[in-house]
Amino acid sequence: MSDANDDVLLRVSGLRTWYPIKQGLLRKTTGYVQAATDVGFTIAPGETLALVGESGCGKSTVGRSILRLENPQEGEVFFEGRDLLALDEEALRAARQRVQIVFQDPMASLDPRMRIRDQIAEGMHSFGIGADDAERGERVARLLERVQLDPAAMDRYPHEFSGGQRQRICIARALAVEPRLIVCDESVSALDVSIQAQILNLLRELQDELGLSYLFITHDLSVVKYLAHQVAVMYLGKIVEQGPTERIFASPAHPYTQGLLAAIPSIDPDRRGGAPPVLGDVPSPSDPPAGCHFHTRCPRVMDRCRREVPSLVPVEGGASRCFLSSEDPPENH
């Protein structure tokens, strides 16, 4: 992808966020949780990139690092032409208006003691949107309608709403400051399947209407298929495969992606009971395996994988971090 500002909204490169493990009385650093290493991707305006992986892969860390809710050690996050990681406090606060986040847990995402109206309007205060209380109230009402809630909800408290409704409120809160990119950190994972569908449809509509981009973080690949244009798969802090959604689902290049797709239980009544594609457990991100991080569980592991660290190599429409991809072209599976 070219770096012209028109077709790239967000460009992340070389992102590294490691958490020091402090032990002992003097709190010496004995090691690091390697939450995210060498992460890079781009998102175009109006596009959704899904960041997919299981627990410990670092996807949430990446999402939060982009907003500087975490502090990366290395890397660049170019948003609208400026590196967010290099900004000072003042400039960062201003830049935050354009990048918002919707969290996973609808219970913890809203302050239980503030009315809905105040919570949605809070961002407006920070960025000077809306001249006075009355106008802000109007905007809150419009926002609630846009997320398909009754505007009368604004005088109520979070505990009066269900999980799905609370997520709608969180989306309204994010929209209140007119962002261009929304990071959805497992935003539908805690919802029932039937409610999930409602929220996914809402996100799609908002994207079409407002030209929003999403960084959609999830562990659920079936959700990805519906919403995402591009997919990046993470394992133990590194991106292992990247590409357009159709290609990833149709012919995944990396063995982990293949395993992930095969592990999803099918609802096709004629297909059941295969052997589990990936064995073993996810290693701890504080002590990742040497060489290729995935080699301990890979069904196609080679000797080389135990010793050398693979880098991202281009494959059709994307990239893959696997020696098999650099040696031979991806096969159809």
Partner 1 sequence: MSAVLEVRDLRTAFPSSGGPVPVVDGVSFDLNRGEVLALVGESGSGKSMTALSAMRLVPKPGRVVSGSVRLDGTELLDLPVTEMRRVRGARMAMIFQEPMTCLNPVVRVGEQVIEAIQLHEDVSKAEARARTRELFVEVGIPDPEARLDAFPHQLSGGLKQRVMIAMALSTRPEILIADEPTTALDVTVQAQILALLRDLQRDRDAAILLITHDLGIVNELADRVAVMYAGRLVEVAERRALLSDPRHPYTQGLLRSIPALARPGEALPEIPGVVPSPDQWPAGCRFATRCPKRIDRCDTDFPEETAPAEGRRVWCHVHDGEGA
Partner 2 sequence: MMGIEAYVWSNAMTGLLLVGMLWAARVVRGNRLWREAASELWRRRRLAILVVGLYLGIGVADSIAWVGGIPEDAVGVLPNAPLSIIDRLFLDTREASYSAPLASVEFYGGKPLRHPGSHLLGTDILGRDVLYMVFKGARVALLIGGLTSLIAIPLALFFGVSAGYFGGRVDDVVFFLISTLAAIPGLLLLIALIMVMGRSTVSVCIALAVTGWVGFCRLSRAETLKLRELDYVQAARALGVSEARIIFRHILPNLAHLIVITFVLTFSGLVLSEATLSWLGIGVDGSWGQMIDGARDELSRSPIVWWNIGAAGTALFGLILAVNAVGDAIRDVLDPRTMRGSE
Site residues (vs partner 1, CB under 8 A)? 54-55, 162-165, 192-198, 200-201, 204, 219-223, 225-226, 246, 259-260, 262-269, 271-273, 275-279, 281-282, 297
Q: How far is CA 152 from CA 22, 50, 194, 223, 330, in A?
A: 49, 34, 24, 31, 55
If one asks whether residue 84 binds partner 2 (CB under 8 A), the answer comes out as: no
If one asks whether residue 103 binds partner 2 (CB under 8 A), the answer comes out as: yes
Q: How far is the CB of 101 from partner 2 (least distance, A)?
A: 5
- Interior angle at CA 81, CA 1 and CA 247, nearest 5: 25
Supply the DSSP string of 176-217, one letter for each residue: TT--SEEEEESTTTTS-HHHHHHHHHHHHHHHHHH--EEEEE
Are 213 and 45 within 8 A, CB to CB? yes
Q: Exactly one of 17, 34, 60, 100 binds partner 2 (CB under 8 A); which one?
A: 100
Q: Exactly one of 105, 178, 220, 316 binds partner 2 (CB under 8 A); which one?
A: 105
Looking at the Cβ atoms of 53 and 123, the one nearer to partner 2 is: 123
Looking at the Cβ atoms of 52 and 315, the one nearer to partner 1 is: 52
Cα–Cα dist 49/183, whole Å: 10
Rounded (10°) CA dihedral 104, 75, 256, 299? -140
- HSE-up of 215 (CA within 13 Å, CB side)? 32
Query: What would the two tokens of residue 327 be?
Result: 């040696």
- Among partner 1, partner 2, none, residue 32 binds (CB under 5-8 Å by kind): none
- Among partner 1, partner 2, none, residue 282 binds (CB under 5-8 Å by kind): partner 1
If one asks whether residue 122 binds partner 2 (CB under 8 A), the answer comes out as: yes
Are 177 and 129 within 8 A, CB to CB? yes
x/- map, 43-72, partner 2, by CB under 8 A: ---------------------x--x-x---
List contacts with partner 2 (CB under 8 A). Answer: 64, 67, 69, 93-94, 96-97, 99-101, 103-105, 107-114, 119, 122-123, 125-127, 157-160, 170, 173, 177
